[in-house]
Amino acid sequence: MSFFNVSLVYLLPVLAAVAWHVRRRRRREVEDRARLEETKKGNIPEPITLHPVINPNKCLGSAACVRACPEHSLGIVNGKAVLVAPEHCIGHGACEAACPFGAISLVFGTEKRGIDIPYVKPTFETNVPGIFIAGELGGMGLIRKGVEQGVRAMETIRKNRASGGELDVVIVGAGPAGLAGSLAAKEAGLRFVTVEQEVGLGGCIFHYPRRKLTMTSPMKWPIVGLFDKREISKEELLEFLNGTVRKTGLEIRFSERMEAIIREDGGFIVRTSKASYHTRNVLLAIGRRGTPRKLGVPGEEQPKVVYSLIDPEQYRGQHVLVVGGGDSAAEAALAIANEPGTVVSVSSRGDEIFTRPKEKNRRLLKELVNRGAVTVYLNAEVQHIGSDSVTIKENGNIVTIKNDAVIVCIGGTLPTPMLKEIGVMVDTYYGTPIAR
């Protein structure tokens, strides 16, 4: 056999592998470009919480970041990494670590949309001694990060115990960060109280639609040990959290909303909707949902008006109005429309309801609207909520519809003014890298 033939025997498989790789990469780039165009067409903004920014001068298109992203938010377009699905990005940070060229920075906010982030030290204590912040309020939405921060904050608090009859710490919020901080406080033998404005555990997780998948990473919880699941449904995660509370005997004061923090000599008074607590330290683990924003219209005080969807089944056979134009409103409308006998309407102040929700939610909502399963009122504002009806002003016209329940999904009021009032430094980030 000639040298040429021998070379072909070895070279052909290599060439075939290279050709397969090139075709596969081109096919994926076509898909990524289509996703990016869909994002641009839908006017989907970049996430203002932690997200990656790619330096095109450093990026060589290795796709290591694409493979590392657990939310499939990144793609390769024109040989460079691009955030093709910003609505899915949760600031995991795996992309930054995976990039071999240092082309990715993690930032808060964008040039046009700023985000308020309170100043915290590595111990998660703010510039006000005794006030600590953990979890989503500090800009980190990951469950694992919230757990770590709640525990680390408590490591410092246990060194600053109260000497008199006051509490060592008041923990505000019972999401992952607040629950982890509470367990760490219990483990350390601290005198503490945990208050939660909702009726159940979970923080923002409590408001997820049923069966929604939640990305997690292995994390170590105080007292209960390692939690080692990477993908888990809302129900499974809440079952774990509730089981942890039962096993440890942890006491949480639900339906108790924090209203003010007042500085006093050597500590604070935390005033809630039910009591006042004298404490040496405060751990704020309240997330970025804040206190639900209200419509401010007559009839809103009725029991049939709620500010989040917990169980769609309770609305079977009812006429339901969902107010809002974002993901929470879209997910509520989708979940309720799937229940037998429901008549679902959506009222949005915008002129287009299909721009703000995530791609999947937009598509599903469009399908329901086209089938007549959901009625949408645009450029609309709720005027009055009656016992069996709702009055809406749409494009200047008054419309009254039959109604049994109203779900208001228009966001929440963040505690930024309160933080500033007690002296906590709050900076607004416009696409600014921040040390994690």
Compute φ and ψ for 181, nearest 5 degrees.
-65, -40
pLDDT band at 19 (very low <50, low <70, confident <90, very high): low
- Rounded CA separation 415/263 (Å): 16
pLDDT of 180-214, one tens digit each?
A: 999 999 999 999 999 998 777 755 555 554 445 45
CATH dotted code for 305-411: 3.50.50.60
Instruction: Characterise 93 by phi-psi region: left (phi > 0), alpha (psi -120 to 50), beta (else).
Output: left
Highest mean pLDDT among 115-119, 127-131, 432-436: 127-131
The CATH architecture that domain 115-291+414-430 belongs to is: 3-Layer(bba) Sandwich (3.50)
Average pLDDT over every residue of 225-253: 82
- Rounded CA separation 338/171 (Å): 38
pLDDT of 165-179, one tens digit each?
A: 899 999 999 888 999
Which pTM was predicted?
0.69
- Rounded CA separation 100/166 (Å): 51
Given a cut of 80, whether residue 77 has pLDDT beyond it is yes
pLDDT of 320-340, one tens digit each?
A: 999 998 878 888 999 999 999
Which residues 6+ apart lie within 8 Å of 139 measured at CB? 49, 50, 108, 115, 117, 434
Are both 115-291+414-430 and 305-411 of the same fold?
Answer: yes
Given a cut of 80, whether residue 11 has pLDDT beyond it is no
Average pLDDT over every residue of 288-293: 70
Asked if 116 and 419 touch (Cβ cutoff 8 Å), the reply is no
Nearest CA to 201 out of 232, 173, 224 is that of: 173
CATH dotted code for 6-108: 3.30.70.20
Q: What angle do CA 28, 34, 36 make, to 5 degrees?
A: 105
Every domain of the chain and the residues it spans: 6-108, 115-291+414-430, 305-411
